[in-house]
Structure 1
Amino acid sequence: MKYFNKTILAVAITAASSQAMAAGFQLNSQSATGIGRAFAGDAVIADNASVLARNPAAMALFDDKALSVGMTYADVTAEINDASLSTRNPVTGQPMAVEYGSLDNAAEGKIIPNAFYIQPINDTFAFGLGAFSNYGTGTDTADLTAGRGLSPIDLIGKTEVTTVNFNASISARINEHWSVGAGVDVIYGEGVLTRGDKKVVDVEADGVGFGGIVGVTYELNANNRFGLSYRFSPDMKVEGTLKKLQIPGKPLADHDELTVPMADIAQFAGFHQLTEQFALSYTAQWTKWSNFTSVDLHGPDEVLKEYQWKDSWFLSVGGTYTLNDQWTLRAGYAYDQGVVDDIQSISIPDSDRQWVAIGATYHLSNKSAVDFGFAHVMGEETRITEKSLFGELSAVTNTGANYFSVQYSYNF
């Protein structure tokens, strides 16, 4: 029988934070071209096979087989300032405050790979495969309370959440204007948690979920087109092993499975080739984070941790400029709305963010290209408070990130 401390394991699996650098613990990192234009128009531009991550219907825009492989490095910073715990003296029972000071960087850099392949079957149908990530995080706040006699070990420590989305999709061209597509997602997720500077808690958990995506594209003409897609995300069933627990007086629960709700994603995109050299694109992406209300035990109606997030919007606009036969340049701006509502968390110091992005493509030949993307993401200073088993933790947080991405694309 596996045993879990309910509060701690809930944090272990879902303490995905803004270190993912999109609302909640969502990732926007599926391609170098997308990063270079702040993902403006990515559900319909279809300049390489990575469009499969956003809209399967856009595969109908390909006449040849297409392959894209790449990776993104997310250089994340997370500052925690003025951290303190409001608690009671364990001897006298009188109110007291424990000051922890500041931590310059609680985030961990991440390498996020991706791969996509699109195969036209005939003039009507196309098939595609993709491997990428929509959710993930990495934080380590252990140094904030290292060496302190009293600390909220249920909230402070190392957390890492990784997901991989394997997608298989098909598209169909209805006529010269309309195309539709649909796909199946198999999502593998795992989480690792340690709490306390002596690893008083050490947890590993993983699970598999199944979702899907549907999409449509409308081509007004050769220079103007629109795309719309909706991704259905599953409620993940997560199993784990609690390797170590040394918290006297805290009860254990004889459950070995948690239900973690994931967020659906809808997006609308437009692309307009305004001149021979310049194109304008834009995206409005809505994420149903209101589905992420709590983490529950599988079976009994027992809530482990309340979140009560709100839906969020990611709005971006970008431009693409064809400099010559070898070089294509791009840039973009995005506004990313935070998801935290009334319930705050130091493990989720979420806030609104702004993206400023640039990118370029170097065409090696008429069939192959190397893409580069860079985005600077700026969060907002946020004061948070969160209930602990040992009192109430408060702090001021500020997050940011630099995305560096490279990608190779080939048309067969």
Structure 2
Amino acid sequence: MKLRKLAVWVPLVVGGAFASGQAMAAGFALQNQNGAGTGNAFAGAAAAAEDASTVFFNPAGMLLLPQGHNLTVGLTVIDRQVDFSDRGTAAVPTFALGRDGGDGGGAAVVPVGYWSYSISPTLAVGIGVGPTFGNKTEFDKDFVGRFSGYFAEIKQINVNPSIAYRVNETVSLGFGINVAKNETEFRQMAILGAGTEREAHLKGDDVGIGWNAGALFQIDPATRIGLTYRSKIKFDLEGKQTIPGVLNAKIEAELETPDTASLALHRQVNERWELLADLTWTGWSSIEEIRVEGGTAPVLDYNFKDTWRVGLGAGYRVNDKWKLRFGVAWDEAPVRSAADRTMTLPDSDRTWLAVGARYTLNRNASVDLGYAHIFFKDAPTERVAAIPTALGGTQTIHGKFEVSADLFSVQYNHNF
């Protein structure tokens, strides 16, 4: 038996080698681009513009910040639980069926940082650094779905220099460049012979460039509308595909992260209450299929659809020191059906419930705290996976994922 031929199925990582993740927005995007927004479930983020993180959410908002330098650093801890229950998956001949895989989630830390500077009342510049896509899914090695994937991780760090210009008292515009590095890793078990399994490992990375733009419209002293767009970023991933003692080959694959557009509202109802809302679209249909080159040239079919998110939030100013936050959001998943749901992207529609607060330390500094619980709709899977073996064949994974997540955020803001 030619062991090298046994590896040609390894790129058929139907579990999602290059589109995996466990991020807190739909798909594998990371919503958590600041700490303050957690308390509002990120409702109306493109119109909020209350600290330097507006560099990411809407660069035009830099013109609403205090004069001088504005610094924001934040940290979010995501504790995600992913449990799989088998519902009749057939065993691969001569191999143990496997177990439910334990908790495929775990804790992850998302750090972000922003700086902005007002050159004049009509011109501001800034920069943001943070992971825009990321996190991982990891089941035990005896997971029932191990032949289609038991581990996947995607990490994407984004550097976002930006500029904002005030056209008049009503309209402000912003623009940014995004330089992003993407690293993607995937592991599954490969069949080398009767009763013999070995880990197959794929890893690739690349740097891509995109852009984003935003506008703020001050309709009246109490009403502000934000409009933003963030472009796709194309990555030509290059890396290796390995099976210890069997294969060490170069691979290539294209990944195009989706574009997004958001319409947001900020309304100051009175001296104490503010309302926020947003409607956000994400073009996940850019990931319909992914072609992996190296050894063979398989096509990975994801059949993603575009998605919508709706967020509603409020803020209540208790006094000069404390401001409370509340929020709720509904976020649609890009997975069309149980047949399209992979092992390493058990994504489903989700609902956010969030609370938070801002404490003003002095005229130049403040601290934000936020907590959110995310309820995921139960996610059945009927995924047909190619078995990584020279003998070919498929295995249909029958089961259900149950997912939930808790987010804890802290953020520090300073003006000087």
Whether contact under 8 Å (2:15, 2:385) holds in the other structure is: no
Deviations 1:107-129 (A, max 9, x none): 12110000001111112211010
Label 1:166 to 1:399 Cα distance change in 2 as closer, same or farther (>3 A).
same
Deviations 1:77-118 (A, max 9, x none): 01101255325635xxxxxx9654534521121100000011
Q: Which residue of 2 aligns with 1:210?
A: 209
Q: 2:252 aligns with which of 226, 245, 257?
A: 257
Q: 2:357 aligns with which of 357, 360, 372?
A: 360
Whether contact under 8 Å (1:128, 1:168) holds in the other structure is: yes
Whether contact under 8 Å (2:283, 2:306) holds in the other structure is: yes
Q: Which residue of 1 aligns with 2:124?
A: 126
1:158: Cα distance to partner? 2.1
1:319: Cα distance to partner? 0.3
Whether contact under 8 Å (1:237, 1:258) holds in the other structure is: yes
Q: 2:28 aligns with which of 20, 25, 28?
A: 25
Whether contact under 8 Å (1:171, 1:179) holds in the other structure is: yes
Instruction: Quote the Cα distance in structure 1 between the aligned partners of 2:225 and 2:374.
Output: 27
Instruction: Quote the Cα distance in structure 1 between the aligned partners of 2:220 and 2:27.
Output: 37
Instruction: Quote the Cα distance in structure 1 between the aligned partners of 2:24 and 2:396.
Output: 26
Label 1:387 to 1:261 Cα distance change in 2 as closer, same or farther (>3 A).
same
Instruction: Quote the Cα distance in structure 2 between the aligned partners of 1:245 and 1:85.
Output: 28
After TM superposition, the structure 1 = structure 2 runs for residues 395-406 of structure 1, keeping only pairs within 5 Å, are 395-406=399-410
After TM superposition, the structure 1 = structure 2 runs for residues 10-409 of structure 1, keeping only pairs within 5 Å, are 13-17=17-21, 19-64=22-67, 65-82=69-86, 84-86=88-90, 89=93, 99-145=97-143, 152-196=145-189, 200-244=199-243, 256-297=251-292, 303-342=298-337, 343-390=340-387, 391-409=395-413
For structure 1, list consecutive stretches of 5 or more residues without a partner in the other structure.
Answer: 91-96, 146-150
Whether contact under 8 Å (2:12, 2:300) holds in the other structure is: no
Label 1:328 to 1:4 Cα distance change in 2 as closer, same or farther (>3 A).
farther
1:234: Cα distance to partner? 1.1
Question: TM-score normalised to the size of structure 2?
Answer: 0.88
Deviations 1:287-336 (A, max 9, x none): 0001111112469x955301110111111000001111111100100001
Label 1:397 to 1:133 Cα distance change in 2 as closer, same or farther (>3 A).
same
Whether contact under 8 Å (1:181, 1:215) holds in the other structure is: yes
Whether contact under 8 Å (2:12, 2:386) holds in the other structure is: no
Deviations 1:337-389 (A, max 9, x none): 11101422122211110000000011110110011011100001121021223
Report the AA paired with residue 279 of structure 1. Answer: E
1:204: Cα distance to partner? 2.7
Q: Which residue of 1 aligns with 2:390?
A: none
Report the AA paired with residue 84 of structure 2. Answer: I
- 3-state SS of the aligned residue for 2:41? coil
Identity of aligned residues (%): 30
Label 1:307 to 1:191 Cα distance change in 2 as closer, same or farther (>3 A).
same
Q: Which residue of 2 aligns with 1:148?
A: none
Whether contact under 8 Å (2:164, 2:172) holds in the other structure is: yes
For structure 2, list consecutive stretches of 5 or more residues without a partner in the other structure.
Answer: 1-6, 191-196, 388-394
Label 1:392 to 1:9 Cα distance change in 2 as closer, same or farther (>3 A).
closer
